[in-house]
Amino acid sequence: MKFFIVFFFVSMLAFNLGVSLPIPEKPTFLSFKESFSTLFGDQNLRPLDANGNSVRISLTKSTGSGFKSRSLYNSNFFSASIKLPPNNTAGVVVAFYTTNADVFKSNHDEIDFEFLWNVPGQEWIVQTNLFGNGNMQRGREERYKLGFDPTQDFHSYSILWNKNWIVFYVDDVPIRQLQRVDAMGGDYPSKPMSLYSTIWDGSDWATAGGKHKINFGFAPFNADFSKFVIPGNGCSTDQIQQCQDNANVQKFVADFNGLKGDELSKMEDFRKKHMTYSYCHDRRRYPSALPECIQVKG
């Protein structure tokens, strides 16, 4: 009862001051074993703790690996803490993303975090992207340097998605916001999606356009995951309590109507310091900017 009163007061204060809460308050973390299943590379996926709350996926010369959520979800907040592989990881791709490609074969939706590793001495690159109805030719990629070493410790990466907004977060700091505009049509992701993560060989394109290939002498390449958050629609029977516990997260997503105040300033500051590419500024690729780009800042 005490938590409810505090949360209600903070929510009303944020509303009245015209600011937004940074992320949902106190989410419940899900068990990997109950919430996910192996996608491929069974031999390269293993739990990191006895309770099954953390998992490691690996890339070796023989195969990568990956997992997916057991359920599809509508507008939602997806999050995980991730520690990325160290050393020479040029050509390695770790992806944390939502998609429905297994259900909608020819017109799937997707929202991506892609971690594109680099040669020693160079910063790691994070790419975000989204598309709807299989329109991959109209990619909406942005790339950033993080300003920290993501291989030394766990950092949280989150995606907020509702019918009008998509926001990407790193360590609770918003780094990108996109508002749906009518002119986007089916390009905006709108169909239920599952949450995925994979590690794989992206030598053909991931580092300097494919200039640097994977050196498997540094394998296995390991990516560790913990603190999963997937509340809301699509809860399976063994997740009901967790979904009830995360009711505040569902409300946050449903009520979200764009970053404001301090959160908007944080995003603009991050983008000014760390963004290295945005499709909205790429006139060679898009001589006429895509319709939502007029709202992009940074």
As a whole number of angstroms, the distance between CA 31 and CA 229 comes to 9
Out of 114, 123, 141, 142, the active site residue is: 114
Task: Assess whether 34 carries a catalytic annotation.
Answer: no
pLDDT of residue 183 exceeding 50, the answer is: yes
Q: Dump pLDDT digits (tens) for 138-179.
A: 889 999 999 999 999 999 999 999 999 999 999 999 999 999
Predicted confidence band at 22 (pLDDT cuts at 50, 70, 90)? Answer: low
Kindly state the DSSP code that residue 248 receives in the 8-state scheme: H
Instruction: Tell me which of 3.90.850.10, 2.60.120.200, 1.20.120.340, 3.40.50.2300 is the CATH number of domain 32-288.
Output: 2.60.120.200
- Helix or strand (DSSP H, E) at 98: strand 92-99
Q: Strand 194-201 relative to strand 92-99: parallel, antiparallel, unpaired? A: antiparallel
Alpha helices in 18-163 (DSSP H): 32-35
pLDDT (mean) for 111-117: 91
Out of 25, 110, 141, 292, the active site residue is: 110
Q: Dump pLDDT digits (tens) for 40-90.
A: 999 999 999 887 789 999 999 999 999 999 889 888 899 999 999 988 888
- Helix or strand (DSSP H, E) at 158: strand 155-161
- Helix or strand (DSSP H, E) at 240: helix 240-245
Task: Assess whether 110 carries a catalytic annotation.
Answer: yes
pTM, rounded to two decimals: 0.86
Q: Tell the burial category of 17 from Cβ atoms under 10 Å away from its Cβ (0-12, 13-18, 19+).
A: exposed
Least confident of 97-111, 186-200, 228-242, 282-296: 228-242
Q: Give the angle subtended at the CA of 282 by the CAs of 180 and 209, to the nearest 5°.
A: 110
Residue 78's alpha-carbon distances to 34, 178, 198, 272, in angstroms, are 16, 16, 15, 25
pLDDT of residue 112 exceeding 50, the answer is: yes
As a whole number of angstroms, the distance between CA 21 and CA 221 comes to 36
Predicted confidence band at 125 (pLDDT cuts at 50, 70, 90)? Answer: confident
Q: Which residues contact residue 50 at a Cβ distance below 8 angstroms, ignoring those fewer than 6 apart?
A: none
As a whole number of angstroms, the distance between CA 253 and CA 237 comes to 22
Predicted confidence band at 261 (pLDDT cuts at 50, 70, 90)? Answer: very high
